[in-house]
Structure 1
Amino acid sequence: MNLLAVDITGNLSVIGYGLAAIGPAIAVGMIFAALINGIARQPEARNLMQPQAILGFAVAEALAILGFVLFFL
């Protein structure tokens, strides 16, 4: 009976990590979609927008890495 409780807890943590990874994945897609849209509309602003997009990508990925680390705790 105790083994079943451990198995359910393990499955819930996997589901939790999966859900935690969906948000950053969507955020990265939205960040780069906005970057491509902005560059397509105003190509000369690329040098201003690209560093901000990379910073946004790093922050979004940091959330995914944090979720991955919490999965193992």
Structure 2
Amino acid sequence: MEAEVAQLALMGKYIGAGLAAIGLGGAGIGVGNIAGNFLAGALRNPSAAASQTANLFVGIAFAEALGIFSFLIALLLMFAV
């Protein structure tokens, strides 16, 4: 009985880590969306693109930070005791 409970807890841990890792895909979609919209705007108005490059990198950094946080949560769920 105790072995089944341990296996169920291990299975729940892996399922939770997999669900937390979905955030990595969301971060990739977010970065692609930010870069694509910047490129579309830069092609429409090339003279304003240089002044918006810093905003591009800030947006990419925020999107990547969410992906890194979800990766950290997945690692904590997998390897925490």
TM-score range, shorter chain: 0.7 to 0.9
Percent of aligned positions that are identical: 25
Code of the aligned partner of 1:63: L
Shift of 1:8: 1.4
Code of the aligned partner of 2:7: L
TM-score of the superposed pair, with normalisation by structure 2: 0.78
1:33 to 21, 33, 36: 36
TM-score of the superposed pair, with normalisation by structure 1: 0.85
Shift of 1:7: 2.9
2:69 is equivalent to residue 71 of structure 1: no
> Any gaps of 5 or more consecutive residues in structure 2?
77-81
Q: Which has the higher contact order (CA 8 A, sep 6+)?
A: 2
Code of the aligned partner of 1:65: I
Work out which of the two has the higher radius of gyration on C-alpha atoms and give 1 or 2.
2
Runs (4+) of structure 1 moved beyond 2 Å?
none
1:1-73 matches, cutoff 5 A: 1-73=4-76
Superposition RMSD on alpha carbons, in Å?
1.4
> Any gaps of 5 or more consecutive residues in structure 1?
none
